[in-house]
Each structure stands twice: as C-alpha cells, then as structure tokens.
C-alpha cells in the first residue's frame, strides 16, 4: 500500500501540465535545498556529466542536530543508514543495496574531492566534518563514474566544505542526553587571499548507560586566486579527536528487560580516535579551453579501541584491544580540454600509498580489565602497505543539442606487502590491470524531460593486513570482483520548481567476497545480483512550501556461490540489506520569521545471516519535526524533535556469522524521542 501511494503521488506530479520549467540538456541531477552555482572551468562537474546524481545544499544540513555527520545523508534518496552506535564506531551510509556492516564497503567517500575511506573502506573520516562547515553533499550512484577506483563499487559521496566568502557563523545547541555542541565557522576574503576556519566541539552522556562521548574538530583553509582568475591554489588542514565509551550489544532478553542498559561486561569498553588531514589544491587554466587540476594529500587515522564481545568459553580471552595506525599519501590530477563546442575530453590519474599498522590483543575477562598489562594472546601485530595507481579518460560528445554521449575508460593496478608476527611476509594478491569501461547517454526528449541510460564496470579488491588480501603460504589466489551495472531512467521538470526522477538499475558482480579486515573474517559470496527501482521528487510549491520524497526498492542476492552447484548460499539474499528505503521532507515558511519542518525515514527489515535462516530484523519508521524562529536578520532559534513518536528500533547483527559463538541476534537500540534547542548567528 505504501509503495502504491508514493508512486501515485509521483505520477500525479509527473503528469501535471508543463509550466516554465526546462530541463537542461544532458542534466539528470536532483538538487535538494540551495546550492551555489559552481564554476565550469576545470574538471567536469559530476552533476553535468554523470547520471543518478543528487546534490544537497547547506541549508538542508546546517541546522540539523546529529551526533555524527553521516546521519545527514538520511535526508537523501535511497540512503541506508547503519546505526551501530558503539562509541566512535557509530555507523555509516550506503546505497544501491550495499550494506553497512563493514564486510562489503562499496561506497567511495571524499571530502573536498580527496579520498577519505580508511583501508577497509569504512567511512570514519566523515566524522571530521560538522554540519556548519558543509557547503553541499554530492551523491553519485551507479558504476559509470570513472574518476575513482578503490571502494567506488556502487558509487561515491563527496562532502564539499565551505571555501571563500566573508562570514562569521556560530551555533550553540543543547538537548537530550545532556548533549552540548558548539560550532564556529569563519570566512574572510581580501583581494586574492581567502581564508576559512572552523571549530566544532560536542559532548554527550549518550542515550544508553556507559555511552559518554566527547569530540572536537579544527579546520583551516588558505587559498590564493590571481587577478585574472586563471590560477587558484591553496592548503587545507584538519584535525579531529574523539573519546567515547561503548555500551555494547544486547541479547534479546537484555533488550526486553532494559533497552538503555549497558551490560557489566562492557564496563570499560571504549574508543580513543584521532584523525588528521593535510591537502594541497591547484586549479590552473593553461589556455582557452584547457585546464589542469591537481590535489596532494596526507590522511592519518589512529584508533585505540577496547571491546568485549558476547559469551566465550573461559580462557578464550573475549576482551579485545584493537589499534589502528593508518597513513595515506596520494595525489589526483586531471586535464580537461574543451576541444569544440560539442566535444570535451578529460583525462586523469591518481596514486595512493598506504603505510598501515593493525594490532589486536586479547585479554582474559575481568572487570575492570587492565589493558596496559600483557595480553593473554596477541592475535595481530601487523605492518602492511597498499599502493594504487589509477588513470581514466572520458569524453563528452554533443552531436546534436538534445543528445549527450559520455564514453569512459578507467584502469587500476594494486601492489603492496605485509609483515606479520613470526616473521611471516607476503605480497598483495596480484590483480594485474583492472579495466573498467563505461558509457552514459542522455537524450532531451522535450524541454522538460531527459531520458538517460548508462552502463559501466567497477571492482572490489580485498583489503586488510592478512590473507586472503595477501598471499601468505598456502593462500589461494583471488580475482578482483567485477561489478557490471546498467541503468535506465528519466528526469522530468514538469512544473517550475519541480524535479523528479525514476530509474531502474541492476548491478551484477563476479567473485564477490564479504571481508571484515578487523576480525579476519572472509566469506566468499560468489556471483551476486543487486537490482532496484529509485523514485524521487523535489518540489517548491509556491513561496511557502518545499517538498521532497523518495522511495527505493532494492534486492541483493547470491546467484551462484564460489563452491558451485548445491551451495547453500545460492539464491539467498545478501545479509543486512533491506528491501526498501523511503524518506519524506516538508518545509513550510509560515511567515517571515517562522519556518516549520517535517522529515520522515522508513526502512524495511533485513536478514541478519548469510543463510537467511535467523529471521528478519532492523526495520523502522521514524518521524522528526523542527521549527525555527528568525529573531532578527542575524539571529535564529531552532527547535528539533527527533523520533517524535518515540518508536523503538535497533541495529541488529547475528553473532554466529561473525564468531561461531552464541547463535543469536545482538541488538544496538537507537535513541527514543529526543529534543534539541539551538541558537544560531550569522554576522
């Protein structure tokens, strides 16, 4: 019923008589909120070249109260939020039927165009960004983006932060669970020099026992632009620190007894995390129609996490201390040539080198545990490297005004080595050059409708410090998992201020592996198929109403497993993948001072084990409301109530899949109803 109602509502809008709206030829992007026009000189913009692109402006995020910035993506179409909420290990955002368990990390994350995944593909660097620093968020779905290789399996997310401008913006917030937050953003432009600074701090007692959290982030940007605006160069620096307790997961019985409790076994579990970034950016117009863009970067990720898992036999040392120390250095460059009015060519290359360390120590059970003492067992003390060389070329052809054709080719190559306890050394799996051809076509059927289709290939390679990512003695060889995706869709602008898109897609993978580097767990899934239907609309109705809605139907299944016919995984759904994801937003400008908002999210249940034998969990329906009062041109007061109906829902995983242990689901309950008040200034 809910699917029928949403489809009917969308069709009603799509069939409305055309007004003065006009779809740009070749444009299939949907925009939520206000996004500043971006210069076209330099690298090709994703929203003007690629298909199934969504852009969310700063006005949709700057007034949100969230514990972590990945939660902001819940407003965008088809985004699945995996809310683990275990201290600093809080969760992540995925789409196109890639789950957020950490096993199949299929979404590339970038900050200001800089690769920002950790080695495993997890999205921890997102936490460095607070809402008030964000300029816009861009999501590219599918397999037709040639700019990135590693982790870019189902698409990518780019958090673009504020650059340039003259402003002084601040925001103070207080709310449920004794949550306190302060943000300050400063921009100053004088002549050819632009400076931007940001500071954010947040502390909270958490919605469960033993869930205290305290973090801060600092950022600075310094950019120079010459008088002729042919050169722009600058530096970006960012530092982040987070200390947090972990409440631990609950059994079904513990959840029923008290969903806010933290079991005694988790009494001194927690996390101490530091992340840093330094980047150099250069954009240079070499001649009319010819421009160069380059980025150099260093990312550093250090994490010290203590965690206790469910029940283990005595002597199996269930307490763990995990320590990561990852350093990424790299570069990206592109050359864009506007050859004629109808032909543009772009070529790019990237290089990344990772020096990583991972230590995992096991301790016997005690409360508290002295993690500075000698461990009962050293499970990992690994040093490993990973190198990636990639290159791409894409061309944009406009043979006639109504048609855009974008062929592309990307290639990637990987190398590296690992050093393990006991003198074990090994090289990375040898994948050779991984070729990824791509093709996109957009046809402007009418001034208000664009029909598009794309086809492309992406890949998955194994990550981590041990086998099977590295060829230790006796380890078999793995081929890269090749994902082949197809999509067809239509974007319409039926009336002024309205954009809508419907797309059907499929993504087939060979040799897919569910791989969790932090636990050394690897499950060969084999050939998989992901497919779905995306429907979305964004509309401004008059001067007062703004509406956006989306409904994504999706499915991920194992077609044939590595072991061949008769394998029990064949025909099973990939675990932790809901069959639908929906969201809805309504903003109403009551008058010059008052603005009211409503945001809803809904997600279906999912299987929690690879054999689909343990039932479905994890579905939810959540409604948030907000109100803002503009005290003056410079000051505003915001009120936000999250989970207004106080719905109970949880993130759920099956511990037998991970550990061979208890054969039961484990739960991390989400917060109930919570309220926040904020005071914002813009000077």
Domain ranges of the chain: 16-682
**pLDDT over 80 at 23, yes or no:** no
Distance CA(525)–CA(506), nearest Å, equals 18
Q: In the prediction, which pLDDT does 491 show? A: 93
Strand partners, 55: 31, 138
β strands within 259-312, DSSP E: 270-287, 290-308
- Model pLDDT for residues 427-449, shown as the tens digit of each residue: 999 999 999 999 999 999 999 99
Strand partners, 512: 526
Q: Is the CB of residue 25 less than 8 Å from the CB of residue 402?
A: yes
What are φ and ψ of residue 133, in 5° steps? -90, -10
Q: In the prediction, which pLDDT does 26 show? A: 54
**pLDDT over 60 at 341, yes or no:** yes
**pLDDT over 50 at 3, yes or no:** no
Q: In the prediction, which pLDDT does 170 show? A: 98
| Mean pLDDT along residues 91-115 | 92
Q: In the prediction, which pLDDT does 561 show? A: 77
Q: In the prediction, which pLDDT does 77 show? A: 92
Smallest Cα–Cα separation from 323: which of 383, 238, 366, 368? 383
Class level of CATH domain 16-682: mainly beta
Task: Tell me the torsion sign for CA atoms 455, 460, 461, 465.
Answer: positive
Q: Which stretch of DSSP H or E encloses residue 405? A: strand 403-415
- Model pLDDT for residues 229-247, shown as the tens digit of each residue: 999 999 999 999 999 999 9
The tokens describing 520, both together, are 């050394």
Antiparallel, parallel or unpaired: β 620-630 and 616-617 = unpaired
Candidate from 294-298, 356-360, 372-376 with smallest mean pLDDT: 372-376
What order of strands is seen across the sheet that includes strand 53-57?
A: 30-32, 53-57, 134-141, 155-161, 107-111, 114-115
End-to-end CA distance of the chain: 48
**pLDDT over 80 at 147, yes or no:** yes
Question: Residue 474 contacts by C-beta under 8 Å, 6 or more apart in sequence?
Answer: none
Q: In the prediction, which pLDDT does 91 show? A: 92
**Residue 257, SS3 per DSSP:** helix
Candidate from 94-103, 282-291, 326-335, 580-589 with smallest mean pLDDT: 94-103
Question: Residue 589 contacts by C-beta under 8 Å, 6 or more apart in sequence?
Answer: 543, 544, 545, 595
What are φ and ψ of residue 247, in 5° steps? -75, -20
DSSP 126-186: GGG--GGGEEEEEEEESS---S--TT-SSEEEEEEEP-S--EEEEEEEEEGGGEEEEEEEE
**pLDDT over 50 at 619, yes or no:** yes
What are φ and ψ of residue 62, in 5° steps? -65, -25
Q: In the prediction, which pLDDT does 33 show? A: 81
Task: Tell me the torsion sign for CA atoms 332, 227, 683, 75.
Answer: negative
Candidate from 189-203, 303-317, 426-440, 487-501 with smallest mean pLDDT: 303-317
**Residue 657, SS3 per DSSP:** helix
Q: In the prediction, which pLDDT does 14 show? A: 39
Phi-psi region of 445 (alpha: psi -120 to 50; beta: other; left: phi over 0): alpha
**pLDDT over 70 at 683, yes or no:** yes
- Model pLDDT for residues 499-556, shown as the tens digit of each residue: 999 999 999 999 998 887 777 777 778 899 999 999 999 999 888 999 999 999 999 9
Question: Residue 423 contacts by C-beta under 8 Å, 6 or more apart in sequence?
Answer: none
Strand partners, 160: 136
pTM for this entry: 0.93
Strand partners, 49: none
The tokens describing 345, both together, are 């060519």
- Model pLDDT for residues 621-675, shown as the tens digit of each residue: 999 999 999 999 999 999 999 999 999 999 999 887 444 456 889 999 999 999 9
Alpha-carbon distance values, 592 to 29, 169, 180, 321, 639 (Å)? 30, 20, 29, 54, 17
**pLDDT over 80 at 214, yes or no:** yes
The tokens describing 38, both together, are 């971006």
Distance CA(72)–CA(592), nearest Å, equals 26
Banded model confidence at residue 2, pLDDT cuts 50, 70, 90: very low
Q: Which DSSP category does 191 fall into?
A: T
Q: In the prediction, which pLDDT does 547 show? A: 95
Q: Is the CB of residue 355 less than 8 Å from the CB of residue 373?
A: no
Q: In the prediction, which pLDDT does 660 show? A: 44
What per-residue string of b and e applies to 51-65 under the rule 16 or more CB within 10 Å gives b?
bbbbbbbbebbbbbb
- Output the average pLDDT for the chain: 90
């Amino acid at each position: 019923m809910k699917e029928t109602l949403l489809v009917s509502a969308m069709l009603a809008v799509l069939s409305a008589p055309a007004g003065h709206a006009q779809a740009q030829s070749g444009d299939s992007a949907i925009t939520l909120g206000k996004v500043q026009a971006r210069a076209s000189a330099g690298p090709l913009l994703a929203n003007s070249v690629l298909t199934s692109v969504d852009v969310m402006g700063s006005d949709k995020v700057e007034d949100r109260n969230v514990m972590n910035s990945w939660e902001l993506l819940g407003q965008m179409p088809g985004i699945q939020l995996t809310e683990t909420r275990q201290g600093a290990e809080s969760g992540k955002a995925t789409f196109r039927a890639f789950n957020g368990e950490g096993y199949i990390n299929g979404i590339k994350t970038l900050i200001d165009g800089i690769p920002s995944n950790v080695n495993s593909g997890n999205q921890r660097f997102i936490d460095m960004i607070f809402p008030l620093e964000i300029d816009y968020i861009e999501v590219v779905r599918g397999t037709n983006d040639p700019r990135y290789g590693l982790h870019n399996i189902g698409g990518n997310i780019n958090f673009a932060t504020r650059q340039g401008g003259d402003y002084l913006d601040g925001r103070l917030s207080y709310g449920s669970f004794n949550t306190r937050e302060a943000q300050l953003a400063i921009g100053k432009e004088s002549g050819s020099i632009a400076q931007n600074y940001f500071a954010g701090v947040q502390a909270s007692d958490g919605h469960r026992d033993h869930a205290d959290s305290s973090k801060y982030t600092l950022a600075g940007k310094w950019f120079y632009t010459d008088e002729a605006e042919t050169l722009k160069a600058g530096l970006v620096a960012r530092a982040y620190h987070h200390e947090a307790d972990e409440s631990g997961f609950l059994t079904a019985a513990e959840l029923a007894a008290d969903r806010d409790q933290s079991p005694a076994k988790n009494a001194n579990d927690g996390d101490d995390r530091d992340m840093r970034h330094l980047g150099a950016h250069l954009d240079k117009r070499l001649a009319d129609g010819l421009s160069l863009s380059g980025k150099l970067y260093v990312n550093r990720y250090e994490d010290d996490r203590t965690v206790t898992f469910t029940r283990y036999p005595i002597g199996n040392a269930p307490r763990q201390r995990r320590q990561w120390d990852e350093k990424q250095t790299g570069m990206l460059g592109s050359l864009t040539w506007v050859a004629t009015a109808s032909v543009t060519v772009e070529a790019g290359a990237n290089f990344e080198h990772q020096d990583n360390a991972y230590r995992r120590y096991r301790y016997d059970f005690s409360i508290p545990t002295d993690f500075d003492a000698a461990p009962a067992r050293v499970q990992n003390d690994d040093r490993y490297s990973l190198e990636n060389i990639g290159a791409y070329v894409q061309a944009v052809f406009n043979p006639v005004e109504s048609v855009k054709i974008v062929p592309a080719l990307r290639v990637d190559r990987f190398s590296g080595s690992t050093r393990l306890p006991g003198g074990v050394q090994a090289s990375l799996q040898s994948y050779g050059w991984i070729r990824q051809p791509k093709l996109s076509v957009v046809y402007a059927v009418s001034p208000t409708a664009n029909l598009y289709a794309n086809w492309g290939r992406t890949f998955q390679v194994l990550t981590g410090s041990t086998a099977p990512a590295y060829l230790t003695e006796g380890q078999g060889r793995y081929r890269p998992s090749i994902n082949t995706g197809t999509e067809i869709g239509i974007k319409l602008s039926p009336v002024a201020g309205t954009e809508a898109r419907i797309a059907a897609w499929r993504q087939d993978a060979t040799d897919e592996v569910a791989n969790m580097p932090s636990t050394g767990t690897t499950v060969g899934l084999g050939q998989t198929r992901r497919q779905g239907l995306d429907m979305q609309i964004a509309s401004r109705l008059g001067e007062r109403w703004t509406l956006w809605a989306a409904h994504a139907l999706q499915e991920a299944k194992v077609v044939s497993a590595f072991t061949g016919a008769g394998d029990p995984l064949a025909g099973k759904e990939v675990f932790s993948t809901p069959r639908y994801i929906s969201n809805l937003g309504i903003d109403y400008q009551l008058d010059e001072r008052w603005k009211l908002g409503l945001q809803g999210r809904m997600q279906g249940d999912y299987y929690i084990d690879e054999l689909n034998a343990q039932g479905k969990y994890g579905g939810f329906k959540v409604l948030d409301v907000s109100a803002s009062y503009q005290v003056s041109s410079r000051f505003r007061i915001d009120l936000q109530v999250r989970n207004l109906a106080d719905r109970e829902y949880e993130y759920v995983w099956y511990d037998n899949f991970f550990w061979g242990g208890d054969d039961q689901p484990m739960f991390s309950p989400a917060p109930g109803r919570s309220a926040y008040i904020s005071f914002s200034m813009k000077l």
